[in-house]
Amino acid sequence: MNACVNTVGSTVSRSAQPVHRLQGIRFPGRDYRLPAFYMVTMTTLGRKRLFATCANDKSTLNADGWLVYELWHRMASDYPLIETSTLVIMPDHLHGLVRVKERMEKPVGVPLRAFKSQVTSALRKRFGDPERKIWTPGYHDLAVWRRGALSAYIRYMMDNPRRYCLKKANPNLFSRVNGLRHPRLPEGETWSGYGNLFLLDKPEIRALKVSRTIEPNRLDALRKDCLDWVRGMNGVIVSPFISPGEKELARAALDAGGSVILIKPDGFDRYFKPRGRYFDLCRQGRLLILACRPPSPAAVALSRDMCLAMNRWCAAMAGDAFG
């Protein structure tokens, strides 16, 4: 097994093997005794930070965290038909990968519940508190079934301590505000925002609108104008960033150190959180995402009316425009 400061884990055996015919999350018809990979998430009761501390964007385990680590990997000894591999422990939750190698007599939930009970018993004994509560009831599992998905989930898990610690260190940059009001926001809409709300207070905000049919020489001139303005004024670009030209200029502006306000065509669902580059932009305070529509359970098909509306809202927020 391999342990490091900000994550704790071991190499996943045979991770390249595909996982077949797994259903969705917690479907009643799933047979949890069958061979599969599961990414498991467990949280502490009340999200108490029991297992680690954050420092320098890393999660460092304390003695209780190392106890959790040891008991997690003991599951494979107690239940030989499962394999414990990658484990990432943060102050108030953990992500672990469990592989059921062969069909089990009992569901994989049995060893997982036993693990939680062992942690609780050990910590009650350590602190001399027979009523001590450690875990939120239950756990969340995600069956990995698509080819290539396993390595993607492992990368997500391993990067989780960094994201967690950054969010805790910069809570205002990773929060959603509903019913948002600001002089720059067009009236008659119910706005919500995620990210750095102070970008709305920047004196220099310009809207970006680029036609899909823009000529290459015109796009080059627009890019130069945009980058000169970003570098000289430290301004903010607002746009839905829909057309290829808008996306290209947004990337260039961000690479040059600029900030953006992104208009979403639909709202934020309950579990919304920025990923990839959006996460790092939030950490740097260079991103604000705005929406004034309810969240949609499926991808929103952009209508012409919605595109026109978003461009109107951007123009209303900005004192000037590119494009």
Going by pLDDT thresholds of 50, 70 and 90, the confidence category of residue 146 is: low
pLDDT at res. 4: 35
- Indicate the average pLDDT of the chain: 85
Q: pLDDT tens, 46-83?
A: 989 999 999 888 899 999 999 999 999 999 999 999 99
pLDDT at res. 246: 93
Rounded to an integer, the average pLDDT of 299-308 is 83
Among 119-123, 226-230, 242-246, top mean pLDDT goes to 119-123
Q: Which CATH class name applies to 2-169?
A: alpha beta
Report d(CA 162, CA 158) in Å as an integer.
8
Whether the per-residue pLDDT at 8 is higher than 50: the answer is no
Residues with Cβ < 8 Å from 104, sequence gap 6 or more? 33, 79, 81, 82
- Which residue type is seen at 132? R
Going by pLDDT thresholds of 50, 70 and 90, the confidence category of residue 3 is: very low
Whether the per-residue pLDDT at 247 is higher than 90: the answer is yes
Q: What are phi and psi of 202, to 5 degrees?
A: -60, 135
Ranges assigned E (strand) in the chain:
2-3, 8-9, 36-43, 52-55, 58-61, 82-89, 93-100, 140-143, 176-180, 191-195, 205-208, 236-239, 259-263, 287-291, 320-322
Q: Domain segments of the chain: what residues?
A: 2-169, 171-322
Poorest-confidence range of 15-19, 36-40, 134-138?
15-19
What's the predicted TM-score (pTM) here? 0.64
Q: Which CATH class name applies to 171-322?
A: alpha beta
